[in-house]
Structure 1
Amino acid sequence: MLTLRVFLLCLTFNWCHGADLSNKFFPKNFQFGLSTSAYQIEGGWNEGGKGESMWDRYFHENTSRSLDGYNGDVTCDSYHRWEEDVQILKDIGVDVYRFSIAWTRILPDGTTKHINQEGVNYYLNLIKALRDNNIEPLPTLYHWDLPQHLSELGGWLNPQIATYFGDYARICYQMFGEHVKRWLTINEPKSTCLIGYGSINNAPGLELIGDGIYQCAYVQLLAHAKAYRIYDEEFRNSQGGVVSIALDHPWSEPYSDSPLDVEAANIENQFGLGWYAHPIYHGNWPQPMIERIGNRSLLEGYTFSRLPVLSNEDVEYIKGTHDYFAINIYTGYYTQHIDDYGVGEPSYWLDKGNNVFSDPSWPKSSSDWLTSYPEAMRKLLNWIKVEYNPAEVMVTENGWPDSTGTLEDQERITYMQGYLSNLLDAIDDGVNVIGYLHWSLLDVLEWNAGHTQRLGLVHVDFESANLTRTWKNSAYWYQNLLTTRCLVDNCQ
């Protein structure tokens, strides 16, 4: 039954009437959930034996790197308040909770010379509590918070980090695998490389946009493959779980039907999503990346391509390391061909050779990169099916920011309705989408944006001693959706 609160909100905001929304029920086994990550939600940055991560160092070195001065030292304090958060998840009624394990909470310096039992106990308690409340735990092994010690060894530019990651993954499988049936290895490797190794705006704050980002991608693919192979060879038979990597991409479509714009959109999708998905599903970098980066490298005076060459051994090791396709999708863009930029400085952006932009008519969020284009969900899911034909697809992030964390967040509800309606349409198209995880449960720390961008269904009062959690209207709406499994008054 609808609670009185949900009923009144339906009347107030006209949620219960959606003429343009899908009138299909979500499939019986479709899973709804919520997502967070360790650095963004836990706090307790130096408690319980936890070591220093590169994000701890990045913010502690310079407080101005966060727009509002906040960092991950406390944030939502879920390290101490995890039981309250599990209760919220239960009350909303989710099937799945996606969180990440802080590498430094398990292995303080990233190496296996010391396993921190306090950290193991923290996640074990969380995972068991989720199971006790009929919520499936979905841990992500790496969500951007590399141990500082490993960062000083070269971080994701050093191929040896893949071996460290494999050792860490093995320990997680050993400690938690009895209770976990679905894993993610690395979250948004593209973003990790582009904005961490290609700009100063995210840890570790390097500006290697012409070469370091490609080396970063290479090492992360090796790390993912190693974690996958270890599970496949050592744990799958006894634990029976599945493993994937969470990729991110805004859908790109041609600005016009001209062949040049059509090709520009294809290149954008290959550089954005194919960069990682193509090696995992097909065994090498996408051909447009190989050709364009190789040709530009020669013009720039290199004797080799800035894109690392995958050896035959690399290809065979990385190919096939997937059990399902996990995708984070927030928005979409038009893509337009740009005539040759010329040589210039080596750059990922010049390598693509196109221009991406939003339609001025699309609703704008408080983040300059995110506009609402619900059709992007359906179009990207169909593109994934055509390009990779995965057995299952799970949307592991999708969300809408505002700058205040208002409880009256109708824009977020409208965004969710549109994207979920297009997800249902994609299922009708034949894409086997098995779940949708909204970002995020709480108003978490949004990296260098601090708390200036709020994406939670639940408001957090960061000025209160208790970091009070308050449900927004979107939380009640989501709770109702999970009960009715329907976006409109009457579903078929």
Structure 2
Amino acid sequence: MVMKISALTLSSCSGKKFPPDFKFGAATAAYQVEGAWNVSDKAASIWDTFTHNNPTMIADGSSGDVACDSYNLWETDIQLAKDMGLHFYRFSISWPRLLPNGFANKISEDGTRYYNNLIDGLLANGIEPLVTLYHWDLPQNLQDLGGMTNPLLAEWFGAYSRVAFTLFGDRVKTWATFNEPVSICGLTYETGYIAPGIYSPGIGSYICAKNLMMAHATSYRIYDKEFRAKYNGKVGIVNNHVWYAPYSSEYEDLTYLARQLGFIYSHPIYSKTGGWPPSVEGIIAKNSEEEGYPTSRLPKFTAEEIEFVKGTADYYGMNLYTSRLVREANNSTFFLWPTNGDLDLNLDLLADPSWEVGLDWLVIHPPGIRAQLNLIREEFGDVEIIVTENGFSTSSDELDDVTRIQYLRDYLEQVLLAITEDGVNVTGYTAWSLLDNFEWNSGYTSKFGLVRVNFTDPFRSRTPRASAEYYADVIRHHSL
């Protein structure tokens, strides 16, 4: 069934409250904010290596060497979160900061102390930690062994997960294994533009996809078996989604395939049957055969692996920023958000001219978030959904960020409509980002922060924007 935006009624939410137990948070990621890239015994990550060796790949030639200096200014960040009234703060652990060798044979005392301080400081201020284990900063020495394309990834990530659960699981009750597999595998290997800078479309991206699914499931099974009874927490995964609508009525079937492709990392976990989305798996297998490959470029799951991965999530983490129209690709194809399988499905992803254009790829279309929330429920039932990232970027340092406020208000309204009118089980919303930070290939030219960071100031001074006060007001009143 092809879901149409027009099927969703649009109405005002003024005065309507979010459910009493709905939680509001904000997010950052280790490489983007921590800095202190080589302090103590921390080892290099793939982003350390990539930015140092390929500065021309970053818009302003910058790196995350210092970033927001949150390694030293974590208390300031907690105060900002408290002032905003956040219910939770989503951050990630740097794998090479906690395990300098990448392996579990050496646990950093300084790395452990840093995350203990951050977690304890949040809890002391009434803020829950939502911790992501992997937000793109793979230890470089594991990359040297093949990284995400080495099938031993599941073993490595499982051991890392066990260390994190052991050290912090008594206080961290919500975990995410991987942030945006579609970026880790698709955006990485389909373009070569982000760390580790390897271009392997249709090959590396699919090997990575299978290994990542097995690594996620390994982490979940470890928590389920060794920690759940003691700590009673939740473990999930964070998928990035783009809402897809047909360019015209002739592309409804292709749009269905695009949406299934968007679930390539969800179907193995949340569907009743498990495994890759059958429609997508079939197309890739057919293309691979026609290209002369002896097996599909998308590695198959065995029956045992399907069962191992299926059901390995206690909630559905959803990042969503934007929407696209779908049509068949032509010679002028330009992927505004490359993903695993775009080429195999022959997709062209475009912005509707009527949608407001933000910075670069971020086209504003608020109804898309409501439509995607409904689609997740349609596909996978009444799973708990946490919106783990949503936000707006500008190139300006302005404090009176009225466009960001409007973006937040309009997207929050659509989330509220999904809850109150559609009955979707959404339990939390996370603004990206608490702070201006290192935005990957955009460096510091892209400003997502509710709080402005002065990157020319050696003390990295922070100043809340108008959007921070707006968001605090929403949280305070639990209402738009």
Classify the TM-score, shorter chain: over 0.9
Partner of 1:350: 343
Match of residue 82, structure 1, among 58, 74, 77: 74
Work out whether 1:299 is the aligned partner of 2:290.
yes
Work out whether 1:312 is the aligned partner of 2:309.
no
Q: Deviations over 1:106-162 (max 9, x none)?
A: 100211121101101100110011001110000100000000010000000001011
Partner of 1:207: 199
CA distance in 1, matches of 2:176, 2:343: 31
Paired residues of 2:13 and 2:416 also in contact (CA < 8 A): no
CA distance in 1, matches of 2:218, 2:446: 35
> Alignment partner of 1:170: what SS?
helix
Match of residue 268, structure 2, among 273, 279, 294: 279
Partner of 1:417: 409
> Alignment partner of 1:185: what SS?
strand
Partner of 2:465: 472
Match of residue 269, structure 1, among 256, 259, 263: 259
Q: Deviations over 1:74-100 (max 9, x none)?
A: 000000000000000000000010000
Q: Which amino acid aligns with 1:457?
A: L
Paired residues of 1:324 and 1:390 also in contact (CA < 8 A): no
Match of residue 381, structure 1, among 349, 366, 373: 373
> Alignment partner of 2:238: what SS?
strand
1:333-412 matches, cutoff 5 A: 333-338=324-329, 348-367=341-360, 369-412=361-404
| CA apart distance, 1:335 | 1.2
CA distance in 2, matches of 1:109, 1:313: 31
Work out whether 1:442 is the aligned partner of 2:414.
no
Q: Which amino acid aligns with 1:76?
A: C
> Alignment partner of 2:194: what SS?
coil
Paired residues of 1:22 and 1:425 also in contact (CA < 8 A): no
| CA apart distance, 1:172 | 0.3
1:84-233 matches, cutoff 5 A: 84-233=76-225
| CA apart distance, 1:195 | 2.1
CA distance in 1, matches of 2:162, 2:37: 23
Q: Tell me, which stretches of 5 or more residues in structure 1 are unaligned?
A: 1-18, 342-346, 488-492
> Alignment partner of 1:452: what SS?
coil
Paired residues of 1:52 and 1:109 also in contact (CA < 8 A): no
Q: How many residues align?
A: 461
| CA apart distance, 1:486 | 1.7
| CA apart distance, 1:302 | 1.4
| CA apart distance, 1:384 | 0.2
- Higher mean alpha-carbon deviation, 130-139 vs 331-340, is at 331-340
CA distance in 1, matches of 2:265, 2:193: 22
Match of residue 455, structure 2, among 462, 478, 481: 462
Q: Deviations over 1:6-48 (max 9, x none)?
A: xxxxxxxxxxxxx944541011110000000000000000113
Distance 1:183 1:390, change over 3 A: farther
| CA apart distance, 1:420 | 0.5
Match of residue 58, structure 1, among 43, 50, 56: 50
CA distance in 1, matches of 2:440, 2:428: 26
Q: Deviations over 1:241-268 (max 9, x none)?
A: 010000001110122333xx11111111
| CA apart distance, 1:390 | 4.0
Distance 1:133 1:219, change over 3 A: same
Q: Which amino acid aligns with 1:326?
A: G
| CA apart distance, 1:294 | 0.8
Q: Which amino acid aligns with 2:289?
A: L
- Higher mean alpha-carbon deviation, 156-165 vs 282-291, is at 282-291
CA distance in 2, matches of 1:387, 1:41: 35
Distance 1:60 1:340, change over 3 A: closer
TM-score, length-normalised on structure 1?
A: 0.91
Structural RMSD (CA): 1.6
TM-score, length-normalised on structure 2?
A: 0.94
CA distance in 2, matches of 1:297, 1:23: 54
CA distance in 2, matches of 1:414, 1:28: 24
Distance 1:356 1:128, change over 3 A: same
Paired residues of 1:109 and 1:148 also in contact (CA < 8 A): no
CA distance in 2, matches of 1:424, 1:21: 7
Paired residues of 1:97 and 1:135 also in contact (CA < 8 A): yes
Q: Which amino acid aligns with 1:271?
A: L
Q: Which amino acid aligns with 1:161?
A: L
The 4+ residue runs of structure 1 with deviation greater than 4 A are 19-22, 338-341
Q: Deviations over 1:369-408 (max 9, x none)?
A: 1111000010000000010114310000001110123111
